[in-house]
Amino acid sequence: MLYTIVDGIATMNSTFDILVIGQRGIGKTTMLRKYVMGTHDEPSFELSECLVYKSVEMPCSCDLKASTDSNTNRQISILDSSAGVDTLLTQNSYQVKNAQTMVFAYSAASSESFESLEYTINCIESVRDKLPPCVIVSLKPDLGQTDQVLASQGEQLAKSCGALLLVETYLYDDCPVDDVFAPLVEVVLQNDLHKACEPISPNSASSAARKLKNSVSMRTSSLELETVPDNHSLTNDKPLLPENAEGGKALARKATTTCLEMSLPIPPSIKT
């Protein structure tokens, strides 16, 4: 199976990849079925408010042909939200905040759905400050139906909200709707790559360096103290060894070896 479906409540406390937003009854769930299952036929289960995982093949960076095992596949999580804008921004605000990318859908046959989407986008911008990467999709229910929303209106909306692109797609033909989701899947995979290659922050690096320096300093100090008897001074010009000369020399040799292994300078007090 190339997809799995779980309860959308899983998005409350964790990020997910794609949030599909649009007025009820415009066909966005049908679009999602075409993308996930390859068919627009009604299934025996509901996708609305469910988190759908679709398996996509990750691009291979090597010259070898990518295999089809689990190591080269990524489960893309998609939530089809059926909430109205008021609910979306209150009880379901976690959906807006936790989505990496978004699909904004309207029906080309419904000017009301287009106006509602414009309002929804403006409201989401007030919640997130900045929209995540998004795609605007114009859903066409019938090949012969007259559009109430012009393509130029969709293009203007896409431009005003900084969408990656505007896609026009028919719901009930056999053409795939991959163009709607492909740009967002690419964003998600790039985010994964950036996280994997994320450098250590300067603060973390400085902290690690301080810890290493302190550790080395303490180790060096302990080596010096081990070879200094109570009845001598560190300012003495002569090499300092315990009263038991043979034991002191052995300890000094051990300390010298340790310093060499750690690439540390040999303290004057333990030179034999």
Q: Name the amino acid, one letter, at 126.
A: S
User: In the predicted model, what is the mean pLDDT of the chain?
Assistant: 76
Residue 91's pLDDT is 79
One domain, residues 51 and 129:
yes
Q: Which of 2-6, 68-72, 188-192 has the lowest mean pLDDT?
A: 68-72
One domain, residues 91 and 140:
yes
One domain, residues 124 and 238:
no
pLDDT bucket at 67, cuts 50 / 70 / 90: very low
Q: Which of 48-62, 115-129, 214-228 has the highest mean pLDDT?
A: 115-129
Sorted by sequence, the CB contacts under 8 Å of residue 90 that are 6+ apart come out as: none
What range defines the domain where residue 215 resides?
A: 202-270
pLDDT higher than 80, residue 151: yes
One domain, residues 253 and 190:
no
One domain, residues 219 and 261:
yes
Task: Please say which residue of 179, 196, 213 terminates a domain.
Answer: 196
Task: Please say which residue of 154, 172, 196 terminates a domain.
Answer: 196
Residue 127's pLDDT is 81
One domain, residues 76 and 164:
yes
